[in-house]
Structure 1
Amino acid sequence: MATIRGHKVSPALVVIDVQNGFVSKGGSYDLLGMETAHYQQVIPRIAKLISLCRDAGVPVFYTQAVREKSGIDLLTRSHKILPKAREERIRRRPICVRDTWDAGIVDAIKPAPEDHIVIKRRDSAFHDTEIGVWLKSLDVDTLLFCGIDTSICVETSLRDAFNNGYDVVLVSDATASGNRKHFESTLEIVKDYYGFVMDIDELERSLLASQKQVQQKRVASNDDDSNHQKIVQG
């Protein structure tokens, strides 16, 4: 449990699509001539957030977007109407094909053995995935979102989380977008309609304060047990 802005919650962190194909030099986006520096710059902050959550006992979920080599799951097969730029990108190069380096999560934030990896084929972490079952088994009620791209897969996943009954927090300095206007728009939409927008420092203070409260309760409980034993022995 943790307390965030006065609310007692049971949180999990969801790290969206921080994969070589989108972020790394030599990945698909880079080879397509797309700018990736804005994604690379946010990785150290995502790494800090992941470490903070692990230390606080907050479960960490990674989403991993994958495509089949055969192309059977490409958007161009299921959609007749797509933005031209997206359609051309899909036709030029398969991105994050299953079991390739391109699809892998970047080394700087590799999942730990206790973390959870959610394979997804569409923008949302909740579309035809196991994440809902896993979150329920852990009694999670609040999701902290970070990763890329802010206004596409992060926002889509956050909206779906909200519609599935979860409280949501967007960690503003641990997410990045290729379009600054879209990034700012997502922050405003989340603040106005869905949940909290917090930076890492504010979230860290909340989690540390929660840890301190838990430790104090444990000490008090141990003291009570010790006093009870003394009374019984006396």
Structure 2
Amino acid sequence: MSDELEQALEAAFSEATRRYQERGFQRRVGFGNRPALISVDLANAWTRAGNAFACEHMDDRIIPAMQALLKGFRKHHLPVVHVTTCYEITDRDNPNTDMGLWHNKIPIETVNQGNPDIWAIDSRIAPIEGELTLIKKRASAFHGTYLAGYLRSAGVDTILVTGVTASACVRETICDGLADGFRTIAVKEAIGDRVPGAVLWNLFDIDAKFADVETVETCLAYLDRVGRAQQTRQAAVA
């Protein structure tokens, strides 16, 4: 994104922030007591150049941010969910396709279940034993999946959402997460898109209405607080 576009967007958001705050928007949902990391579509089709869904700033920003977050979650043995998207019936003429009607808008037939390399989680942030990989069929990681039930059974009250894209799957996941009763945190440096300006605009709007946008640094400090609280509880029981 050009410096001129970024400056123009920041100027517009500054004025919009004033208007929102005057009307009571941009309140804080806050961090809860037990977080989970929800990583949306950070699979090869989105993270590697040359694919139809490839997004910007993977190598220099999003993957390093994810690596830091994964290290924090794994250090404290907190839940991690890697979400990806693929389809078993990619014939667009088949009325029984699991693509639904979405293929009429975007080329989701390229994410064919028969080609696992394309929808596998990027090897730089690959799941380890004990972490869940969830396949979705629609934009939201909650729509038509068992994600909400899984999180509740794990005692989760807060979701840190990362991935792509800010304008679609990440945004829809955040909106549904809030609707399902989870405290929603959008991790600023770990969210991307394909279109210049889309991340800035969507994070601004998400922060106003659906989630708290927080930095990786703030989230890591929060994870350490959660980890210390867990240790204190465990020591008290022992």
TM-score in same-fold range (> 0.5): yes
- Deviation at residue 157 of structure 1 after TM alignment: 0.6
Corresponding position of 1:63: 83
As a proportion of its length, which structure holds more helix? 1
Q: Deviations over 1:65-106 (max 9, x none)?
A: 01124431235xx269x5xxx44x45xxx3221142111111
Q: 1:7 to 1:169 in 2, by over 3 A?
A: closer
SS at match of 1:58: coil
Asked if the contact 1:16/1:64 (under 8 Å) is kept, the reply is yes
Asked if the contact 2:82/2:132 (under 8 Å) is kept, the reply is yes
State the alpha-carbon separation in 2 of the partners of residues 218 and 103 from structure 1: 39
- Pairwise mapping of residues 11-22 of structure 1 onto structure 2 (< 5 A)? 11-22=35-46
Count of aligned pairs: 204
State the alpha-carbon separation in 1 of the partners of residues 176 and 222 from structure 2: 25
Q: Deviations over 1:184-214 (max 9, x none)?
A: 1221122211221111101111222333344
Corresponding position of 2:221: 205
Q: 1:166 to 1:218 in 2, by over 3 A?
A: closer
Q: Deviations over 1:135-175 (max 9, x none)?
A: 12111111110011122100111101111111100000111
SS at match of 1:150: coil
State the alpha-carbon separation in 1 of the partners of residues 224 and 29 from structure 2: 13
Partner AA of 2:66 in structure 1: I
Verify: 1:95 aligned to 2:110, yes or no: yes
State the alpha-carbon separation in 2 of the partners of residues 185 and 37 from structure 1: 15
Asked if the contact 1:5/1:206 (under 8 Å) is kept, the reply is no
5+ residue gaps, structure 2: 1-27, 92-96
Quick one: percent identity of the two aligned structures? 23
5+ residue gaps, structure 1: 226-234
SS at match of 2:74: helix
Q: Of 131, 153, 169, which aligns to 1:153?
A: 169
SS at match of 1:151: coil
State the alpha-carbon separation in 2 of the partners of residues 155 and 207 from structure 1: 23
Corresponding position of 1:164: 180
Bigger radius of gyration: 1
Partner AA of 1:46 in structure 2: M
State TM-score, norm by structure 1: 0.77
Q: Of 186, 204, 210, which aligns to 2:202?
A: 186
Asked if the contact 2:89/2:98 (under 8 Å) is kept, the reply is no
C-alpha RMSD of the superposition: 2.6
4+ long deviations beyond 4 Å: 4-7, 216-219
SS at match of 2:159: strand
Asked if the contact 1:15/1:61 (under 8 Å) is kept, the reply is yes
- Deviation at residue 130 of structure 1 after TM alignment: 1.3
- Deviation at residue 53 of structure 1 after TM alignment: 1.1
Corresponding position of 2:14: none
Q: 1:5 to 1:165 in 2, by over 3 A?
A: closer
Verify: 1:40 aligned to 2:64, yes or no: no
Corresponding position of 2:71: 51
Verify: 1:73 aligned to 2:101, yes or no: no
Q: Of 174, 189, 201, which aligns to 1:173?
A: 189
State the alpha-carbon separation in 2 of the partners of residues 206 and 12 from structure 1: 12
Partner AA of 1:196 in structure 2: D
